[in-house]
Structure 1
Amino acid sequence: MLGVLGDEWTLLLVQQSLLGATRYGEFAARLPISHAVLTKRLTALTTDGLLERTLYQQRPPRYEYVLTPKGRSLWPVLTAIWEWERRWVPDHAERLPTMHHLSCDAEFAPQLTCRACDQVVTEKELTVAWGPSGSWKRSMPAESTRRRATSDAAGRAGLFPETMTILGNRWAFALLVAAFVGTTRFNDFAGQLGAPPGSLTDRLQSLTAGGVLDAVGGRYALTEKGRATFPILITALQWAQRWFAAPEGPAVLLRHQSCGDAFEAVLSCDQCAGALRGADVEDRH
């Protein structure tokens, strides 16, 4: 999951696909991306199964890139990122637009709710346990997430700057997950994750500098800003467990304490309480 989502261009290309872009020229016109990077990312998205390359013209042959169900189902992750960056990251060149829910015709914020009981859920109401395929060791990718080549620098987007400090680095994402399940001390992070001390120190400093963690008395605790990343983590985890399923079963088991059922996240509108659909969410500048 981190190998696919830990790249800002991937997220932005999927975002534009959800907004209707299918052709190379449309992506190039909508994003500040070089042709070399765009070609590389479209190829990667096709290889990863998020887009399907289909012929729409014979002479000369021309292709378009159409979202697969795997790519389309990323809309909750993108919606969660949009909301977090809009509320907690002020350093955007242009302020991110508000969200508009077509079903109730209102500006809204997405809420994380339980499919079984429709209640709004925070991390405090979930019980988390490893599943049959789960462990810290197994859940860490063998290599760092996909990095931008040096040639990407001319076309960097920077539209999800702080999200990428989390999703774009395997140790940062794992640290945040560990913090949500109660880990607070350096040695405990190191023991659970198996991260090199230098990498662990660097990521803890980065998350602290970004206001996601607070360091007091040798312990690291989630700030309000850090806790607000919970919908991003949950929607990304849910997407990963759907599309990268292990034969023996899920890696992580979640249970909603209030209703006692296995937890499946649903994003809902805070104005009408209706479950959101990707097609019913639009931006309003």
Structure 2
Amino acid sequence: MASRAPNAVARMLGLLGDEWTLLVMQQSLLGATRFGEFKARLPISNSVLSARLRSLTEEGLLERREYQTRPSRLEYVTTTRGRSLWPVLVSIWEWERRWVPEHVEPLPHMHHLECGHDFAPAATCRACGAVAEVEHVVAQWGPSGSWSRSIPAAATRRRAETAAAGLFPQTMSVVGNRWGFALVVAGMVGLRRFTDFQSQLGAPPGSVADRLTILTANGVFDGTGNRYELTEKGRALFAVVITSLQWAQRWYRAPEGPAVVVTHTACGRRFDPVLICDQCRRPLRGTAISVVENSATSD
């Protein structure tokens, strides 16, 4: 009997399709370890922060350590699984930088320590080295893949509209919700009609309508009648989606095999994304990237 357990896509959408998870991990990778540090950096309530730190610890992205015994004080340290999210967060930053100019404050720069330049990441094919966009790949279900097994199970909690959203506010409204993220993924694999989104994703019609309204307002989809097409801005989320899928299939791979098999049409090989620096063309490493605030200048 075929398994009905959630596959890597479901885990990706349920875990990463939550803005507080992304924001907490963003701040963790930027150096926050203690409850008070996360609170100082994020507009988040104590209860929501406690819940996210607990779930991220249970999922193995953070490790809880006691740094003081009397009284007991805890810190949350990023694990290997958590640190490996850096390509997703760097891709989110690049999408915001390129497609969302209307920030209250300009985004900080990403600096590549190996070449000494500020950079923009580019997604390339590990097999042939070519830069790839969504139109250059074909995705097919793998051994553990199906729409029914890809339905995200985790619930999200909406952030107050007036709260700041860290380094990438619009992305959080787009993919920081499990159904919003699922709709973007579905659009990239060819779904176009409202009824198809609702039936294939198993989402409540109200949730689909709500997220499509937000995605259309943000210029990610162009909706006419019952048909929704990803715009150029929406297709540019490819790096966010493909690095998220790569991460999920590394850490949540089903015993029977991957949920999705992606092929690079240019070389005919399996597509495994590698982010490179657009300045020196070398593969990026998370430890060789620094965040430079706009008050500082770098070349």
TM-score (norm 1): 0.89
Deviations 1:68-105 (CA, angstroms, capped at 9, x unpaired): 11111111111111111122223433221122111111
1:223 matched to 2:231: yes
Aligned to 1:157: 164
Aligned to 2:110: 99
Aligned to 2:277: 269
Shift of 1:275: 0.5
1:145 matched to 2:152: no
Residue aligned with 2:64, SS:
strand
Distance across 2 between alignment mates of 1:92 and 1:256: 34
Shift of 1:9: 2.5
Deviations 1:23-79 (CA, angstroms, capped at 9, x unpaired): 233323333334343333222221221111112233333222111111111111111
Change (3 A) 1:28 1:187: closer
Q: Name the stretch that deviates more: 209-218 or 27-36.
A: 27-36
Aligned to 1:209: 217
Aligned-CA RMSD value: 2.2
1:41-120 matches, cutoff 5 A: 41-120=52-131
Equivalent of 1:240 in 229, 248, 262: 248
Residue aligned with 1:282, SS:
strand
Between the aligned residues of both structures, percent identity stands at: 63
1:186 matched to 2:197: no
Shift of 1:218: 4.9
Change (3 A) 1:44 1:194: closer
Unaligned residue ranges in structure 1 (runs of 5+): none
CA contact (8 A) 2:193 2:228 kept: yes
Deviations 1:6-32 (CA, angstroms, capped at 9, x unpaired): 222322222222222222333233333
CA contact (8 A) 2:110 2:289 kept: yes
Q: Name the stretch that deviates more: 82-91 or 152-161.
A: 152-161
Change (3 A) 1:39 1:154: farther
CA contact (8 A) 2:156 2:178 kept: no
Unaligned residue ranges in structure 2 (runs of 5+): 1-11, 295-299
Kindly provide the amino acid, as one letter, of the partner of residue 93 in structure 1. Answer: V
Kindly provide the amino acid, as one letter, of the partner of residue 103 in structure 2. Answer: H
Shift of 1:182: 2.3
Residue aligned with 1:267, SS:
strand
CA contact (8 A) 2:22 2:176 kept: no
Distance across 2 between alignment mates of 1:93 and 1:175: 28
Distance across 1 between alignment mates of 2:184 and 2:248: 17
Distance across 1 between alignment mates of 2:98 and 2:255: 39
Shift of 1:194: 3.6
Change (3 A) 1:131 1:38: same
Shift of 1:134: 0.6
Distance across 1 between alignment mates of 2:175 and 2:62: 20
Change (3 A) 1:203 1:61: closer
Shift of 1:154: 10
Aligned to 2:4: none
Distance across 1 between alignment mates of 2:38 and 2:200: 41
Distance across 2 between alignment mates of 1:136 and 1:66: 34
Q: Name the stretch that deviates more: 198-207 or 261-270.
A: 198-207
TM-score (norm 2): 0.85
Question: What is the count of residue pairs matched by the alignment?
Answer: 281
